[in-house]
Structure 1
Amino acid sequence: MPEPPASDRSATGAAARPAPSTGAAIQLEHLTKAYPGSPVPAVDDVSMEIKAGETVVFVGPSGCGKSTTLKMINRLIEPTSGRIRIGDEDVTAIDPVGLRRKVGYAIQASGLFPHMSVAENIALVPKMTGWSRARTRERVAEMLDLVGLDPGEFHDRYPRQLSGGQQQRVGVARALAADPPVLLMDEPFGAVDPITRDHLQDELIRLQHELHKTIVFVTHDFDEAIKLGDRIAVLRERSHIAQFDTPEAILTNPADDFVSGFVGAGAALKRLNLTRVRDVAVVDFPTAQVDDPLQSIFDLLRDGATNEVLLLDRHRRPYKWLRRGDLSRAKQSLARAGTLVTDTVTRDATLRDALEAVLTDSAGRVAVTGRRGEFLGVVDMETLMNNVHELLEADRLEALEHQHDLQTLRAHRTQLAQEGLEGTGGADGGPGGRA
């Protein structure tokens, strides 16, 4: 977007910036994709309405057409028939290249251009849409900060110099750089290890809380769909919609056996993916910093109510757990004392993520961190188990209520049937109707 004219500038001379865009509604109307020579369409007559600002996840078996449906939204694949509306605009007939500049797109393995630096990758779409050099430079720094990468450290790096998780963060930053109302994500976290994937999912949840984009996300992982989606579209072959509902509704009331197969066993535990760490009690914990005098750390361990403190680095990030028993090894230095913190969770992590982290920790707790990795508090086993018990109790009560409703319905039907038989006998002159 070109710089605004001088009349639109503030008194300080800085260019006025447009307000960040939020999400736009998406409507798919009878969308079909048929390939020549194929006896059946790859996508067959899909209609769906996605609300502005919500995250909708397409989940289904391999080859069911979920990625094809996604790519038709920004017309990377041209539909054979049907219509696509984004906001108030019918985008089916407009210039597809211009459309793609208005719709963010993130894919598996990031899709970064290897010969371009991180900054050049992120700046690509803003430059193509006519942003000034100064505004583009500011936007690159803003996007790196938004996805948790230090602009000073990562601005001039190349993709080969990044980890898989860092590449995916840059891919998301590039997709959001031109501030599109819609973000399409095609299995973007499928090529990274499970721990990195969990953190990237948490980062996406945090970003969505800040940006309120309309996100359409494709995955084959139902647990990922539960964690990320405001609503989930479970797709059969040819993208036929088996169920399109909230994660809670799908977990507690799957539409049929096909959907039940995706839910799988342990629906109550899967519901731990619906509650975030920010929704439960994050407790304080004694901390010290690596720069603190050794004697003050010793005094804290000896005199404190707990036999353990969390040692933080210079950026207040969790570094080591120190116990009283470590004091003998820390007389001169902390280098050999304590246990390194190997796992943390963010406030946007799910209770299932937290539970997995706690179960792998011998002391039964996990540190909670902010967007920069700074320490916020601790979640422990007792808190998590209380929430698990509450979920199980809610499921038990719901099952009893459902059973009671079924019994009431059966009794009502029996009563109606008996009344119908008696009425029929009297009215028709049957055995009970004649003298």
Structure 2
Amino acid sequence: MSETEPEDGAHGATIELVNLTKRYPGNPNPAVDNVTMEIKAGETVIFVGPSGCGKSTTLKMINRLIEPSGGRIRINGEDVTDIDPVKLRRKVGYAIQSSGLFPHMTVAQNIALVPKMIGWPKGRIRDRVEEMLDLVGLDPGEFHGRYPRQLSGGQQQRVGVARALAADPPVLLMDEPFGAVDPITRDHLQDELIRLQHELHKTIVFVTHDFDEAIKLGDRIAVLRERSHIAQFDTPEAILTNPADDFVSGFVGAGAALKRLNLSRVRDVEITDYPTVTVDDPLQTIFNKLRSSGTNEILLLDQRRRPYKWLRRGDLMRARGSLARAGTLVSDTVTRDATLRDALEAVLTDNTGRVAVTGRRGEYTGVVDMETLLNSVHELLEADRLEALEAQHELEEARAAQTHAEQEGPGGEAKA
């Protein structure tokens, strides 16, 4: 395939790092020392470690934004260490903190940048820009001609991801891409990335200093020490339940059972329906719906069917013909790709005992309540308790066997 031809539906590629090293002049110790790692096609691997441990340097060597001092990089078996780094970067998507959008370009121009550079025809680029905006949950008609300064931080990050994916690269590198946004927006961007990965199956290498983010996003996590030495490279569940040493335990921290809520998604538990009305419904219709629902509360949706307010009976009595000041604004929602920990935090923040679940454009799809979430917590805690009992039983059996062996002579006879 020529460089100007788009790779339709390109999925992930394998990545091999072999003895990858980076030395800077004047520093006796390497910034990255002899890293060897294999990343499977289509998996999300998270680099997590303390500040200055070399995780971002390691990431940037994959697309040679930083040139390695030694070692090899193979993508789908091809050694890319010696090929033109500019051509390499066009085949590897790259998303960074604060999006990195060009301020003088519109959203469409930013997304079209790489496809234009590699010679895609104008019609194909135009279609791809619309496809990418829709993919990251932004209305093409609304955002196509906007400039980055006209976007919120979360919207900028979505455009940054769309730009990184525009030329359909098999590999996506992400360097703390959600680190500069507020916690609620960050949760939603993480959910969006999980949803995108379910659709696209790219190979994603993602750098973060936040272990909870690593658990939520990663198929596997590489916990890195100084100079990117690998302390443990395993699944989130394995690291939570069996950290390799005290250094890794320090990252896991307290409350490992609760952290395991990051391994379960809202889609894994029961999502129930709830009585809803819209802002366009007459007040009498809303009264009747609340009266017949058998609940003390009803969810008001805006004109795009997004959760807007929780309305109680008393709120409607005080409405006096207008909903403008009635009810309590919905402060947070979750998607089906959100973790149960996100959902639990949202329920506790909202004080309603439930959280609304939304689709890719923010539309209402149901609710998850506190009882469902607490049952999940209890199941995880019980699983941990049984696992601990089993481990203790195995340890006691091993000690008993060792004691028995020590009491017998070399020939199997009991010592005198």
TM-score by length of 1: 0.93
Of 274, 278, 283, the residue aligned with 2:263 is 274
- Computing the radius of gyration from Cα coordinates, the structure with the larger value is 1
Match of 2:350, SS state, is coil
Structure 2 residue aligned with 1:188, among 171, 177, 184?
177
Code of the aligned partner of 2:30: P
Match of 1:105 among 94, 98, 108: 94
Contact 2:4-2:118 within 8 A present in 1 as well: no
1:201 counterpart letter in structure 2:
Q
- Counterpart pick for 2:130 among 141, 155, 177: 141
Indicate whether 1:246 and 2:235 are aligned: yes
Question: Residue 226 of structure 2 corresponds to which residue in structure 1?
Answer: 237
TM-superposed CA distance for 1:422, in Å, is 6.9
Choose 96-105 or 109-118, whichever is displaced more.
109-118
Q: Which residue of 1 aligns with 2:318?
A: 329
Q: How does 1:39-78 map to 2 (within 5 A)?
A: 39-78=28-67
Give the secondary-structure state (helix, strand or coil) at the position aligned to 2:82: coil
Task: Provide the identity percentage.
Answer: 81
CA distance in 2 between counterparts of 1:364 and 1:376 reads 17
Q: Secondary structure at the match of 1:251?
A: helix
Q: How does 1:278-293 map to 2 (within 5 A)?
A: 278-293=267-282
Counting matched residue pairs gives 415
TM-score computed with the length of structure 2 as normaliser: 0.97
RMSD (Å) for aligned C-alpha atoms: 1.5
Q: Residue 377 of structure 1 aligns with which residue?
A: 366
Post-superposition offset of 1:200? 0.7
The equivalent residue for 2:70 is 81
2:398 aligned to 386, 409, 430, which one? 409
* Structure 2 unaligned regions, length at least 5: none
What are structure 1's unaligned runs of at least 5 residues? 5-16, 427-431
Output the amino acid matched with 1:359: L
Superposition deviation, residue 3 in structure 1: 7.9
Deviation sequence 1:293-332 (CA, Å, 0-9, x none) = 2211111112221121111112111111111112212241
What is the letter of the counterpart of residue 146 of structure 1?
L
Which of residues 300, 313, 319 is equivalent to 1:311?
Answer: 300
* Preserved contact between residue 42 and residue 202 of structure 2 (Cα < 8 Å): yes
For residue 103 of structure 1, what is the amino acid of its counterpart? V
> Which whole-Å CA distance do the structure 1 matches of 2:48 and 2:253 have between them?
14
1:106 touches 1:172 (CA, 8 Å); kept in 2? yes
- 2:188, 2:337 → 1: CA distance? 9
Contact 1:276–1:348 under 8 Å retained in 2: yes
Q: Out of 232, 246, 249, which is 1:260 matched to? A: 249
The ranges of structure 1 where at least 4 consecutive aligned residues each deviate by more than 3 angstroms after the TM superposition are 1-4, 420-426
Any idea what SS the aligned residue of 2:408 has?
A: helix
Q: d(CA) in 2 for partners of 1:101 and 1:136?
A: 15
Q: Give the Cα–Cα distance (whole angstroms) in 1 for the partners of residues 205 and 13 of structure 2.
A: 12
1:248 maps to a residue whose letter is E
Cα distance change, pair 424–43 in 1 and its aligned pair in 2 (3 A): farther
CA distance in 2, matches of 1:417, 1:2: 69
Q: Is the 8 A contact 1:2 1:132 kept in 2?
A: no
**Letter matched to residue 161 of structure 1:** Q
- In the TM superposition, residue 424 of structure 1 has moved relative to its aligned partner by 8.6
Pick closer, same or farther for the CA change 1:3–1:230 going to 2, 3 Å: closer
> Hey, what's the Cα distance between the residues in 2 that align with 1:393 and 1:150?
44
